[in-house]
A and B are shown apart, each in its own frame.
Chain A
Amino acid sequence: MERRFFLRCLGCSFLASAMLQSDFFPEILGGLKSAEAYSLTKNLSSVEARYYKKLPEGGVECGICPRHCRVTDLERGYCGTRENRANVYHTLVYGLACSMNIDPIEKKPLFHFYPGTTAFSLATAGCNVNCKFCQNWDISQSRPEQTDNVDLPPKEVIAICRNQNLPTIAYTYSEPTIFYEYMYDIAELGRSNSIRSVMISNGYMETEPLKNLLPVLNAVKVDLKSIREDYYKNIVGGELKPVLDRIIQIKKSGTWLELVYLIVPTLNDTPEEFRELAGWVKTNLGTDTPLHFSRFYPQYLLKNLPPTPQKTLETAYQICRETGLEYVYLGNLPGHPAESTYCPQCGKILIERKGYRIYQNNIKGNRCYNCQRNIPGLF
């Protein structure tokens, strides 16, 4: 075949494919386009973000989390929810909740925070890390235009809580740091309406935003995913040190703090790691900080890893108790004694839990009903 002839044939073929890509045959192709994709894009918010600085060379530097993304015009940060538009940094998720639920507070889990109450839980798309085991990867690893969002400004969130008599709002599922402005405004408005706010976070936030946020929050639960830097680097896609620093910052601020450690088989489940964790908590936060061990279930990228064996959870529990931690809990093991709260002094059961349900609460004014020992938390 002559080369020129071949090229002509090829040209014809490309012309045909170009016609197909255009609206040349709209009646054939129209049905294949996703109409929803376009309407969702229109719904993004354009509220100016907080904690960023304009760079002299152009672009902006985000200051909300330790990533400090440098973002040029029309680009977004790592989280995919904050965009530079003509050197003004915008949050694209303000008022756009992609997940809403009414959850028992025990599901967060917060065990020393008004046990037996419920929380209006909400999230937007996006996250500032990429944990390979993420339970909410469908929204946390999506951009806001890829999720179904509900237009829910802070006032409406408060209205829902008041109408349904929900005492607490939980910023959860994805990472609240990336919808900081939205969370802050709801929490501030909630405070003036006697509605509490709790943040369920990975702790990967910058010092200054956290410092300003803590006064409007009532409690924080931090997912401390590991006590090893390489785990954060390889499995989480973040850094350990800023997380540890923020946990200490929260503790020092006096805002109620609980920690969760998700035990992922083969990745962060050795007794040495449990010992390091317990030692760090004891030294830096004190023995009265509640520490929850959670059971891993196959999710997201780690879909082919089995659930955490009960024995591993019990080993972690045992090590932490031996180290001196007073409030250690095991999650996703309903009926296990380590779901309940015991008085560290007299050993009496203070709060009996099964799953998300409270069977008895024997704490009277933050004290053990039996020996009057002070029990930390908000009850």
Chain B
Amino acid sequence: MNRKAFLLGFYSIGGQVLLLRELVSSLHGDELFLGTALFGWLLSVASGAYLAGKSRLSVKTGVLFVAGAIALPVMLVIVRLSTLMTGHLIGEITPFSTAAAISIFFMSPVGLISGALFSAITREGYRPALSIVQVYLWEGIGAFVGGGLFTLLVGSYLSTLAMALVLSLVVILILFSDLSHKRTVMPVIVAMALVALIKSYTPYLDRYIDNFKYRPYQVESSLDTHYGHQVILSKDSTLTLVTDNSIEAAYPDLLTAENLLLPPLAYRPDIKNILHIGRIEFGIMQLADSLPEIKITAIDARGSLTDAVEKIMSKAGQSVQINDDPLAYFTLASPLIKYDLIIMNIGEPDSYRSSRYLTARFLNAARRFLAPGGIIFFPSHYDTDRNISQEKGKLLSIIYNTLKSSFTHVASWPGDLTLFFASDSALFEVPVDTILQRFSALGYAPRFLNQDYLPDRFESLKVSRLHDALNSSSQVNSQEKPVLVYNQAIYRSKIDNLDKTIIPALYRQPWTLAVPLMIIVFFLTLIFRKRRRREFGLFLYFAAGLASLSLELISFYVFQSSAGSLYSQIGALIGAFMLGLALGTYFSVRANKEHLEFPALILFIAAVLFFSSTYRSVPPRALLLYHLLFLFTVAVITGSLFVAATARYYFGRSESNRGTGYALELVGSALGALLPITIFLPFLGIPWLLAAILIFLALSLVGATITR
């Protein structure tokens, strides 16, 4: 066993997963951000590997491990407080460009150390090709073990910070303990005692940091769930639920509560059974006692949050809490209970998690749970009271079109919150006077939805402006082509001058399409001009990185847009990928066959074809297994390709820079992390993205044949 390589994998995946999770949580990052953060991570690992691979630089692995063990928890705390360092106010949105810069900057120390460790450990081996493969193998095994552990522990037993401290502790103890000796009992006891100490005291540290970050608010509760970081704040008799540094709900907030519950009653005053997607304690439960005839069932996957909320707020009215993901619930559970109303309180569709609700797949699944004449209600957070910009209009139009693609009748209200109603029954042709009449007949007298406000809300200019906006686009949001989240990114980019330049340029300008063309032209020129066998080895490194990371990110996307959460399972998914890499590498080396690139590339193509034909039909409960197996398979193939590339480039060259191949693979991986999902998905959609990868792999196969 190569202990150092194992530790490298363990440490590296820990650094990557924990920092990514913390960055997404602290900066409320969306998927654009995730691609950029991964891109930055991979580039810093590549830089570390390349720099440390240069023969003039020689750093001891022990020093690097200790530096890494210190750097990880420190960087984690810095990331958590990073918005304060950049001068942002409490509650202020971090623009994408700032968030991207923070992620690249604060991930780089751990990334550089991980990369440097790879080169430093391989240098300790004798023959370059063999030592690289051996390190790769044990790094993969270490990553798999680490990834599995993080998925099991983070959110359930340990917070992100606690996990980082445990990880650092484990790395140092294993590195400096003499495990070959029989006297291993003492270090294990010490380690367990320290882990217990970390588990007991880190919650106080987490809370202290949140207190510092959110002052002058009082932190009532601070906890990690599988989905992210939750804080409940209080000030001046008001409670606020903060999820991943953004406000999910506030209590009391009657304006929002009325807008979330009452409007559908204007069309169906007889509504009794309501299913609410999202938390209700801070929102519509404020009205539950006033409307005792209504029964509310809430569905939200964050079970541990339920416990935390119950300690702070008393449960009001008749409500049932289901701790499950809504899509899984709608797909699998037999609809014994039918609801008169389903409220989609999902916030802004700024992530795949929230925007997946606005797809035909979800809406059709939800429809099975609607009673005859039932309504799907989406209270969006877009303000259309005074004006509607082009960007906002397009977003509203996409939402409208998507609802229209699943339901026969769709209606909308302008206002501070723009409301959408969808049903298969003709319910929505109701004059304003009747709406007012129905509201005044409720057991509860609305304070915002009444004759004092509604005539202004339905003023003709506002209604016609919203009508125009809803017809401004023909696009529909779908899992295959999730245009909503990208249009949301364009809309939000207006808040910052740099974002305003970067994001619309990425999505509206065709120059981005030049990047893959450049790669292909480069590749073709390379293979057709000189037919160099050895240099093509370098290209194979690059191709392995690009194809595998592209598929990894596509798999992440499909998983998240189906299962809802990603950040708790990302450790297991990456871990499975790393194990596949390790085993692929190991068996390829053992097989000791020439021209492994041919079966590897053919299998790669087969895997992509299999994924293309099956990913849509995976049942929600089998999603994790399906994606684990897919990523594992892709990684096994990538491992073989890595060995084939190493054999081509390093064969008989003991003095060459051992970091070069690894670095090129990581450059390919970095592009794979950034381009397909972050940039191309809204243009191409999943099917065409997969087709592009197939073409790239086929061209690689042609190149390998020519340079054989």
Binding site for B on A (CB under 8 A): 1, 5, 8-10, 12-14, 16-17, 20-21, 28-29, 32-34, 36, 98-104, 107, 121, 123, 132, 135-139, 141-142, 146-148, 173, 235, 265-267, 297-307, 309-312, 332, 334-335, 354-357
Do A355 and B452 touch across chains, with their CB atoms under 8 A apart?
Answer: yes
Query: How far does the Cβ of A203 sit from chain B's closest Cβ, in whole Å?
Result: 20
Do A267 and B450 touch across chains, with their CB atoms under 8 A apart?
Answer: no
Query: How far does the Cβ of B545 sit from chain A's closest Cβ, in whole Å?
Result: 17
Do B511 and A138 touch across chains, with their CB atoms under 8 A apart?
Answer: no
Query: How far does the Cβ of B107 sit from chain A's closest Cβ, in whole Å?
Result: 23
Of B481-489, B517-525, B627-635, the one with at least 4 CB within 8 A of chain A:
B517-525
Alpha-carbon distance A139/B450, docked complex (angstroms): 29
Do B452 and A304 touch across chains, with their CB atoms under 8 A apart?
Answer: no
Query: How far does the Cβ of A102 sit from chain B's closest Cβ, in whole Å?
Result: 6
Do B91 and A304 touch across chains, with their CB atoms under 8 A apart?
Answer: yes
Do B236 and A173 touch across chains, with their CB atoms under 8 A apart?
Answer: no
Alpha-carbon distance A102/B253, docked complex (angstroms): 27
Query: How far does the Cβ of B708 sit from chain A's closest Cβ, in whole Å?
Result: 19
Can you report 5 A-B residue pairs in the complex whose CB atoms are below 8 A from each other?
A13-B517, A139-B389, A147-B387, A306-B250, A310-B237
- A20: which of B92, B237, B517 is its contact (CB, 8 Å)? B517
Do B451 and A311 touch across chains, with their CB atoms under 8 A apart?
Answer: no
Chain B residues lying within 8 Å of A311, measured Cβ to Cβ, are 236-238
Residue B93 interfacial (CB < 8 Å): yes
User: Given that A1-B538, A17-B518, A306-B238 are contacting pairs, would A98 and B510 also be in contact in the complex, using a CB cutoff of 8 Å?
Assistant: no
Alpha-carbon distance A302/B93, docked complex (angstroms): 6
Binding site for A on B (CB under 8 A): 28, 89-93, 216-217, 233, 235-238, 240, 242, 245-247, 250, 252-253, 255, 383, 386-387, 389-392, 416, 447-448, 450-453, 456, 459, 461-462, 494-495, 508-511, 513-515, 517-519, 521-522, 525-526, 529-530, 535, 538
Do B92 and A10 touch across chains, with their CB atoms under 8 A apart?
Answer: no
- B459: which of A33, A102, A137 is its contact (CB, 8 Å)? A102
Chain A residues lying within 8 Å of B90, measured Cβ to Cβ, are 266, 305
Chain A residues lying within 8 Å of B247, measured Cβ to Cβ, are 298, 303-306
Do A101 and B462 touch across chains, with their CB atoms under 8 A apart?
Answer: yes
Q: Determine the residue in chain A with the shortest Cβ distance to B508.
A: A34
Chain A residues lying within 8 Å of B453, measured Cβ to Cβ, are 334, 355-356
Alpha-carbon distance A225/B233, docked complex (angstroms): 25
Do B529 and A5 touch across chains, with their CB atoms under 8 A apart?
Answer: yes
Chain A residues lying within 8 Å of B519, measured Cβ to Cβ, are 13
Query: How far does the Cβ of A269 sit from chain B's closest Cβ, in whole Å?
Result: 8
Do A357 and B386 touch across chains, with their CB atoms under 8 A apart?
Answer: no
Chain A residues lying within 8 Å of B517, measured Cβ to Cβ, are 13, 16-17, 20
User: Given that A13-B521, A16-B521 are contacting pairs, would A102 and B452 also be in contact in the complex, using a CB cutoff of 8 Å?
Assistant: no
- B448: which of A14, A309, A334 is its contact (CB, 8 Å)? A334
Do A309 and B235 touch across chains, with their CB atoms under 8 A apart?
Answer: yes
Chain B residues lying within 8 Å of A310, measured Cβ to Cβ, are 237, 252
Chain B residues lying within 8 Å of A312, measured Cβ to Cβ, are 236
Chain A residues lying within 8 Å of B93, measured Cβ to Cβ, are 301-304
Chain A residues lying within 8 Å of B462, measured Cβ to Cβ, are 101
- B216: which of A10, A98, A266 is its contact (CB, 8 Å)? A266
Alpha-carbon distance A148/B468, docked complex (angstroms): 12
User: Given that A107-B456, A305-B90 are contacting pairs, would A141 and B494 also be in contact in the complex, using a CB cutoff of 8 Å?
Assistant: yes
Beyond A147-B389, A355-B450, 7 extra complex contacts between A and B, CB < 8 Å = A9-B521, A12-B521, A141-B495, A235-B89, A299-B383, A301-B92, A304-B91
Alpha-carbon distance A47/B240, docked complex (angstroms): 49
Do A8 and B452 touch across chains, with their CB atoms under 8 A apart?
Answer: no
Q: Determine the residue in chain A with the shortest Cβ distance to B529.
A: A5
- B392: which of A10, A101, A138 is its contact (CB, 8 Å)? A138
- A32: which of B237, B494, B510, B518 is its contact (CB, 8 Å)? B510
Alpha-carbon distance A307/B521, docked complex (angstroms): 54
User: Given that A8-B525, A16-B514, A334-B447 are contacting pairs, would A301 and B456 also be in contact in the complex, using a CB cutoff of 8 Å?
Assistant: no
Chain A residues lying within 8 Å of B495, measured Cβ to Cβ, are 137, 141, 300-301
Q: Determine the residue in chain A with the shortest Cβ distance to B457.
A: A356
Query: How far does the Cβ of A43 sit from chain B's closest Cβ, in whole Å?
Result: 13
Do A10 and B246 touch across chains, with their CB atoms under 8 A apart?
Answer: no
User: Given that A266-B216, A355-B448, A356-B452 are contacting pairs, would A304 and B522 also be in contact in the complex, using a CB cutoff of 8 Å?
Assistant: no
Alpha-carbon distance A107/B247, docked complex (angstroms): 27
Do A136 and B386 touch across chains, with their CB atoms under 8 A apart?
Answer: yes
Alpha-carbon distance A356/B457, docked complex (angstroms): 11
Alpha-carbon distance A144/B517, docked complex (angstroms): 36
Do A36 and B456 touch across chains, with their CB atoms under 8 A apart?
Answer: no
Chain B residues lying within 8 Å of A32, measured Cβ to Cβ, are 508-510
- A17: which of B216, B389, B391, B511 is its contact (CB, 8 Å)? B511
- A1: which of B448, B450, B511, B535 is its contact (CB, 8 Å)? B535
- B92: which of A36, A148, A304, A309 is its contact (CB, 8 Å)? A304
Do B387 and A20 touch across chains, with their CB atoms under 8 A apart?
Answer: no
Q: Determine the residue in chain B with the shortest Cβ distance to A138.
A: B389
Query: How far does the Cβ of B416 sit from chain A's closest Cβ, in whole Å?
Result: 7
Query: How far does the Cβ of A114 sit from chain B's closest Cβ, in whole Å?
Result: 17
Alpha-carbon distance A14/B237, docked complex (angstroms): 61
User: Given that A137-B495, A267-B89, A302-B92 are contacting pairs, would A307 and B253 also be in contact in the complex, using a CB cutoff of 8 Å?
Assistant: yes
Q: Determine the residue in chain B with the shortest Cβ distance to A173.
A: B386
Do A99 and B535 touch across chains, with their CB atoms under 8 A apart?
Answer: no
- B530: which of A5, A135, A147, A304 is its contact (CB, 8 Å)? A5
Chain B residues lying within 8 Å of A147, measured Cβ to Cβ, are 387, 389-390
Chain A residues lying within 8 Å of B535, measured Cβ to Cβ, are 1
Alpha-carbon distance A355/B448, docked complex (angstroms): 8
Do B236 and A309 touch across chains, with their CB atoms under 8 A apart?
Answer: yes
Query: How far does the Cβ of A131 sit from chain B's closest Cβ, in whole Å?
Result: 12
Chain B residues lying within 8 Å of A300, measured Cβ to Cβ, are 495
Chain B residues lying within 8 Å of A121, measured Cβ to Cβ, are 386
Alpha-carbon distance A174/B236, docked complex (angstroms): 31
Chain A residues lying within 8 Å of B91, measured Cβ to Cβ, are 265-266, 298, 302-306
Q: Determine the residue in chain A with the shortest Cβ distance to B238.
A: A309
Chain A residues lying within 8 Å of B509, measured Cβ to Cβ, are 32
Q: Nearest 10 CB-CB pairs, A to B? A: A305-B91, A355-B452, A17-B514, A13-B518, A309-B236, A99-B387, A309-B238, A357-B452, A306-B240, A304-B91
Query: How far does the Cβ of A313 sit from chain B's closest Cβ, in whole Å?
Result: 9
Do B386 and A266 touch across chains, with their CB atoms under 8 A apart?
Answer: no
Do A356 and B456 touch across chains, with their CB atoms under 8 A apart?
Answer: yes
Which among B386, B494, B519, B529 has the greatest number of chain A C-beta atoms within 10 A? B386
Do B511 and A20 touch across chains, with their CB atoms under 8 A apart?
Answer: yes
Chain A residues lying within 8 Å of B513, measured Cβ to Cβ, are 20
Alpha-carbon distance A141/B240, docked complex (angstroms): 29
Query: How far does the Cβ of A109 sit from chain B's closest Cβ, in whole Å?
Result: 13
Do B456 and A304 touch across chains, with their CB atoms under 8 A apart?
Answer: no
Query: How far does the Cβ of B667 sit from chain A's closest Cβ, in whole Å?
Result: 14
User: Given that A104-B456, A138-B494, A356-B456 are contacting pairs, would A10 and B237 also be in contact in the complex, using a CB cutoff of 8 Å?
Assistant: no
- B447: which of A101, A137, A173, A335 is its contact (CB, 8 Å)? A335
Chain B residues lying within 8 Å of A10, measured Cβ to Cβ, are 522
Alpha-carbon distance A290/B185, docked complex (angstroms): 77
Alpha-carbon distance A60/B240, docked complex (angstroms): 49
Do A357 and B235 touch across chains, with their CB atoms under 8 A apart?
Answer: no
Alpha-carbon distance A306/B518, docked complex (angstroms): 47
Chain A residues lying within 8 Å of B456, measured Cβ to Cβ, are 103-104, 107, 356
